[in-house]
A = this chain, B = another copy of it.
């Protein structure tokens, strides 16, 4: 493999000069620069970034930890992150945890091992203390999720108000007996959406039947199964708020499988606004999260941390939006 010394030799200059041509061209005389560039060209030299990074103590790489890259919501956030990263000359190391807390923990080491300059977490199921500890020493930002009582910079929507908005919409349309299918309750964000649901019900003086609140795992299947459970229990609400579009679609499939119709017989409202939510029939009424923008903002925040710039607002809340389609009707 051709190294900087080969180039230096060929161009008849020192390695320092070659290095300077590559990194601070303004400090070397034009004629020399040309000689060096010619040599680089001739030898097809590519600098070994490992060496540079070791010397500079920076990798120009950031780590993104995702619970499941297969989930279109997360992949869209990731794309937002990636866009800003490459624009700043950074590369993205991908950490898919497959929803496994242990693997999630494992990725924390990567920063200490200097394989990345910073990281954005799209999941924070693990030990909050461990994350805090790492965040004290390295640039870390949370996206989508957050850690209660932590000062780690965060980008997300306001899940409580988003869910409240969703539930109030149902209530305002005359629904009284409303079911809620939540995400896994060991995740803050799931608890927040549930909390928003409760708040809306309380504000409008409606009681929530505990049987109609069921814990899912954000997946299509869990939505389907929990709806079937409602049927089995003979406890039918007139509307259901599902904490993810995936689950909402599962719910609708279940309803259809029983020969009922959405929204005529039961209304369903989701959360996320995936691309498929508009293709699905009926079109899903849902709370839209600006996935791509969450990613962008998170990465911008991370860049600031890495560059040790001042970060004023540490918790960025982006606007969510109720997207009305056809899966909810007036009672």
- A residues adjacent to B (C-beta < 8 A): 46-51, 53-54, 59, 61, 64, 69-70, 72, 75-76, 78-79, 82, 86, 91-96, 103, 109-110, 112-115, 220, 249, 253, 275-276, 279-281
Please name the residue on chain B nearest to A64 by beta carbon: B94
Q: Could you list 24 A-B pairs, sorted by A, with CB under 8 Å?
A: A46-B112, A47-B113, A48-B54, A48-B114, A49-B113, A49-B114, A49-B115, A50-B50, A69-B79, A70-B75, A70-B76, A70-B79, A72-B72, A72-B75, A75-B75, A78-B94, A82-B94, A91-B95, A93-B93, A220-B279, A276-B276, A276-B279, A280-B280, A281-B281
The chain B residue with its CB closest to the CB of A45 is: B112
> In the bound complex, do residue B113 and residue A46 qualify as a contact, i.e. CB atoms below 8 Å apart?
yes
- A96 contact set on B, CB distance < 8 A: 79, 82
Partner of A94, one of B93, B249, B279: B93
Q: Measured between C-beta atoms, what is the minimum distance from A108 to chain B in Å?
A: 10
Q: A54-B54, A69-B78, A253-B279 provided; 8 other pairs, C-beta below 8 A?
A: A49-B113, A49-B115, A51-B54, A75-B75, A91-B93, A94-B94, A220-B275, A276-B279
Q: How many copies of the polypeptide does the oligomer hold? A: 2
With A75-B69, A79-B69, A92-B93 as known contacts, state yes or no: A50 contacts B59, CB within 8 Å. yes
Q: Which residues of B contact A279 (CB under 8 A)?
A: 220, 249, 253, 276, 280
9 tightest A-B CB contacts, nearest first? A46-B112, A94-B94, A49-B113, A50-B54, A92-B94, A48-B114, A70-B75, A69-B75, A82-B96
Q: For the complex, what is the distance from the CA of A94 to the CA of B48, rounded to whole Å? A: 19
By beta carbon, the residue of chain B nearest A106 is B86
**A70-B76, A279-B249 given; A115·B91 CB < 8 A:** yes
A281 contacts which chain B residues (CB < 8 A)?
Answer: 281
Cα distance A140–B249 in the bound complex, in angstroms: 40
The minimal Cβ–Cβ distance linking A77 to chain B, given in whole angstroms, is 10
